[in-house]
Amino acid sequence: MDWFDSVLLEPWRHAYFVKGAVGGSIIAVTCAVLGCYVILRRMAFIGDAMSHALLPGVGIGYLLMNALFPGGFTAGGLLVGAGIAALLTSLCISFLSHSGRIAEDTAIGIVYTGLFAAGVVILTRYQQHINIDLNHFFQGDIYGVAWSDLWLGAVVGTIVLGLLIVFYRHFTLVSFDPTMAASIGLPTQLLHIALVGMIALVCVAGISMVGVIMIVGLLITPPALAYLLTDHLPRMMVYAAIIAIVSVILGLYFSEWVNASGGGAIMFMGFLLFLVGLVVAPRYGLLPAWRRRRRLVPQTDLEDVLKGALENEPPLLAPGRLNRAVRRLVADGLLEVDRPDTAPQLTDVGRREAEHILRSHQLWEGHLVQGGMSPDEAHAAAERLEHLHEREILDQFDDDLDHPEEDIHGVPVPGEREAGTDEYPDLVMSLLRQGDSGRVTGCVGDWPAGIQAGTRFTLEARNLETGNWQVRLPGEQRLMQLAHNDADRLKVELVDEKTLLAADPD
């Protein structure tokens, strides 16, 4: 508990720490919510430009106020000067980028470095009259937060958050679809200027606390992290605000412990949080994406494993990929494992799939050989091409090759078995094999003599001389001969032979 007290509670007993935490949080939350639009509208560079370009405004404001009210209150002058500088910056950028050849990012680069340079010249020339040093401009002083800074922060925060809440729909629509926004009469230019103006306001309010670079960081980093965490704009704003507060508190603790600049520590914590989020964010993080990719099993692996199981040849896959493929196939019900130490077996569905891949391989081989490729080359090529196994392609090859019953190596080609499904309704007789029984359901064109819808049949071996299909019809001794053309035209459905006999006792 001593540790808890001295490290976590002790800092809160000091006014400077509390003021820093409160002031920092006000600015950080305002920046975070506004920043959601900054990153969605891809205005990050404008934020950067705006914050730097404030320098001459601040300098001139100081000089003016000093000249008008010697030794008097100068915060007002600072604000007015900064406001003028912001206006000047956005006007110059918009003028330059619409002038023709100069692109907007180039214009931004020119304007802000130019104005910043002017600011450096003014500040260094009149150093003795302006009690703001460049170091302060860059780093801010979170532990030197004055009441006036807190008030300024609170007023700016109220204005900015108030505008963003009241005009939420307007800012969202103009950011998402400016064309539609304009078509329903929203003042798109004014809304853009309002956003730029608000960026200028938070810069003015925040620079004395966290410095010019850090204010840009607060504008961009927490919303960017929130964007990785959610797909919902209001939620993104809330997350960004929470991330901003966490960054401020963690940063303040951190700067206490290691005795470093507060503004730097805050932004550094924000950066670390972003890195953590970038890795672990559930949907858009790197780690989940990597794990999703790992879980993905290539379809070709699955098919190689199925074909391997059918042919009793282990596929050439690295053990990890093989295991993942087998696990997926078991989960999908294509393979089953009886005991852990035995090789997995094909289920009925798995066997059908595997035969389909094998058939694809054999028909591709046949097709390539028919086209003039050597059998060895064709085999190697078919190993890859077998994964292109759309029904239409395979049936075309099968037809071109005159429905071969054996492939080029003499291995039987499995018949088509998946017909009758929604995805592939039609089965024709030429795709069947010896021993298949079924019923004729239709015919494209004229019926061959002796066959009509409903005719039951059993297929015998193909006639080796003529290549004809030989069909046994129930109750007839003679085999019916069907030429290739007729067999292609007869639509059939497969029926188990026993069912066929049971249904028809004669």
Partner 1 sequence: MKPDFAIQVDHLTVSYGGKPVLVNISLDVPAGMVVGILGPNGAGKSTLIKAVMGFVPRDFGQVALFGKSVEDARGHVAYVPQRGQIDWSFPVTVWDVVLMGRYMVTPWYRSIKARDRELALTALEQVRMTDLRHRQIGQLSGGQQQRVFMARALAQQSPILLLDEPFAGVDAATERAIAGLLKQSKAEGKTVMVVHHDLETAAEFFDRVVILNRRLYAYGEPVEVLQESLLAEVYGGQLRTFSWNRKE
Binding mask 308-337 for partner 1 (x = CB under 8 A): ------------------------------
Looking at the Cβ atoms of 128 and 183, the one nearer to partner 1 is 183
Q: Which helix (H) or strand (E) holds 335?
A: strand 335-336
CB–CB of 492/427 below 8 Å?
yes
Closest approach of partner 1 to the CB of residue 274, in Å: 17
Q: Which of residues 77-116 bind partner 1 (CB under 8 A)?
A: 100
Binding partner 1 (rule: CB under 8 A), the pick from 95, 176, 257, 290 is 176
CB–CB of 222/243 below 8 Å?
yes
Q: Calculate the alpha carbon distances from 124 to 62, 110, 127 in Å.
A: 13, 21, 5
Q: Calculate the alpha carbon distances from 479 to 66, 294, 430, 453 in Å.
A: 116, 56, 16, 18
Looking at the Cβ atoms of 92 and 173, the one nearer to partner 1 is 173
Asked if 236 touches partner 1 (CB under 8 A), the answer is yes
Closest approach of partner 1 to the CB of residue 165, in Å: 11
> What's the rounded Cα separation, in Å, for the pair 479 and 55?
101
> What's the rounded Cα separation, in Å, for the pair 128 and 461?
109
Asked if 172 touches partner 1 (CB under 8 A), the answer is yes
Q: Return the SS3 of 456.
A: strand
Binding partner 1 (rule: CB under 8 A), the pick from 183, 312, 342, 477 is 183
> What's the rounded Cα separation, in Å, for the pair 317 and 326?
11
Closest approach of partner 1 to the CB of residue 241, in Å: 15
Looking at the Cβ atoms of 122 and 226, the one nearer to partner 1 is 226
CB–CB of 202/31 below 8 Å?
yes
Binding partner 1 (rule: CB under 8 A), the pick from 182, 242, 246, 381 is 182
Asked if 169 touches partner 1 (CB under 8 A), the answer is yes
16: which residues sit within 8 A by CB, 6+ positions away? 143, 144, 145
Asked if 233 touches partner 1 (CB under 8 A), the answer is yes
DSSP label of 478: S
User: Which residue, among 383, 402, 398, 401, has the nearest Cα to 462 in the 3D structure?
Assistant: 402
Binding segment (CB under 8 A) for partner 1, from list 104-112, 141-149, 227-235, 378-386: 227-235
Q: Calculate the alpha carbon distances from 237 to 50, 233, 240, 269, 372 in Å.
A: 22, 6, 5, 19, 65
Looking at the Cβ atoms of 228 and 490, the one nearer to partner 1 is 228
The number of CA neighbours under 13 Å toward the Cβ of 437 is 12
Looking at the Cβ atoms of 179 and 342, the one nearer to partner 1 is 179
Closest approach of partner 1 to the CB of residue 235, in Å: 8
Closest approach of partner 1 to the CB of residue 163, in Å: 11
Q: Which of residues 4-63 bind partner 1 (CB under 8 A)?
A: 40
Looking at the Cβ atoms of 29 and 233, the one nearer to partner 1 is 233
Asked if 230 touches partner 1 (CB under 8 A), the answer is yes
Closest approach of partner 1 to the CB of residue 170, in Å: 7
Binding partner 1 (rule: CB under 8 A), the pick from 5, 231, 338, 422 is 231
User: Which residue, among 171, 166, 198, has the nearest Cα to 187 in the 3D structure?
Assistant: 171
Q: What does the block give as tokens for 472?
A: 């046994």
Total residues contacting partner 1 by CB under 8 A comes to 25
Binding segment (CB under 8 A) for partner 1, from list 13-21, 207-215, 229-237, 317-325: 229-237
Looking at the Cβ atoms of 71 and 185, the one nearer to partner 1 is 185
User: Which residue, among 393, 37, 328, has the nearest Cα to 197 in the 3D structure?
Assistant: 37
User: Which residue, among 431, 454, 457, 456, has the nearest Cα to 442 in the 3D structure?
Assistant: 454
> What's the rounded Cα separation, in Å, for the pair 309 and 317?
13
Binding segment (CB under 8 A) for partner 1, from list 165-173, 263-271, 391-399, 496-504: 165-173
Binding partner 1 (rule: CB under 8 A), the pick from 8, 121, 165, 166 is 166
> What's the rounded Cα separation, in Å, for the pair 165 and 236?
14
Count helices and strands in the chain by DSSP H and E runs: 21, 7
Closest approach of partner 1 to the CB of residue 19, in Å: 34
Binding segment (CB under 8 A) for partner 1, from list 113-121, 233-241, 353-361, 388-396: 233-241
Q: Return the SS3 of 415.
A: coil
Binding partner 1 (rule: CB under 8 A), the pick from 25, 74, 139, 175 is 175
121: which residues sit within 8 A by CB, 6+ positions away? none
Asked if 66 touches partner 1 (CB under 8 A), the answer is no
Looking at the Cβ atoms of 230 and 430, the one nearer to partner 1 is 230
Asked if 177 touches partner 1 (CB under 8 A), the answer is yes
> What's the rounded Cα separation, in Å, for the pair 353 and 303?
8
Rule CB under 8 A: which residues touch partner 1?
40, 100, 166-167, 169-170, 172-173, 175-177, 179-180, 182-186, 227, 230-233, 235-236
